[in-house]
Amino acid sequence: GAVVSQHPSRVICKSGTSVKIECRSLDFQATTMFWYRQFPKQSLMLMATSNEGSKATYEQGVEKDKFLINHASLTLSTLTVTSAHPEDSSFYICSARAASGKLNEQFFGPGTRLTVL
Amino acid sequence: EDQVTQSPEALRLQEGESSSLNCSYTVSGLRGLFWYRQDPGKGPEFLFTLYSAGEEKEKERLKATLTKKESFLHITAPKPEDSATYLCAVETGANSKLTFGKGITLSVRP
């Protein structure tokens, strides 16, 4: 149980294009989903917290107009990187917290490697 | 500001050579401390959650302990398949925000 999937696992795009990453909780309902970014040999940095049906809360320094987050249902959240540039190349990881059970358990997706040329 | 520091950055062990990974933290209002394992190119895999000083949890060759200032992940008789990056994270605040350390890269030689 507690499986989180991400799609795509890897994406390469040209500078200036937009990329959408999906995060799904496969066998549980997630009231809250989190989006992280991880640069090589660095830790996971929280970008935003997304609650179903409401606007995402962004961490300081993260541009909300560049990283659009939609949490339309209890099993799906999407992150859209708009007008991507090479400096946006990174490993993007989502996590989901179950609507029931232990409130502070987060289950992570496998990550999406974004490369912007 | 919440801070999590993991040491050492990298650790190389011989198979069977037990050791400990350290995670020290400075936070206001700890709700929980998490240990994750991350393999290259993959998302973190949950290992343990510790909630209060003195708590210990075990899983196979791994044992996690918690004090008021730090946590240790003890690895007993490690095997090559234990090679990975081990991440420590603390949860604070009402929104369950996790603050991660930089991780410890463990390599176990056969």
- Name the residue of chain B whose CA is nearest to A59's CA: B97
pLDDT of amino acid A41: 82
Give the pLDDT score at B26: 93
* Whether the predicted pLDDT of B57 surpasses 60: yes
Bin A86: left if φ > 0, else alpha if -120 < ψ < 50, else beta: alpha
CB B23 within 8 A of CB B5: yes
Q: Do residues A106 and A34 make contact, with C-beta atoms less than 8 angstroms apart?
A: yes
| pLDDT value of position A101 | 57
Query: What local confidence, expressed as pLDDT, does residue B2 receive?
Result: 84
CB atoms within 10 A of CB A44: 27
Q: How far apart are CA B25 and CA B33, in angstroms?
A: 9
A and B: number of Cβ contacts within 8 A: 56
Q: How many helices (H) and strands (E) does chain B have?
A: 0, 11
A50 touches chain B (CB under 8 A): no
Residue range B84-107, pLDDT digits in tens: 999 999 988 766 788 999 999 999
Find the distance separating the first CA and the last CA of chain A, reported in whole Å: 37
Residuewise pLDDT in 10s, chain A (117 residues): 689 999 999 999 999 999 999 999 998 888 889 999 999 888 899 999 998 888 899 999 999 999 999 988 889 999 999 999 999 999 999 999 876 655 567 889 999 999 999
Residues of B with CB under 8 A from a CB of A: 31-32, 34, 36, 41-46, 49, 87, 89, 91, 95-103
CB contact under 8 A, B43 and A46: no
Interface membership of A105 toward B (CB under 8 Å): yes
Per residue in B23-56, pLDDT (tens digit) is: 999 988 888 999 999 999 999 999 999 999 999 9
Phi, psi of A100, rounded to the nearest 5 degrees: -130, 175
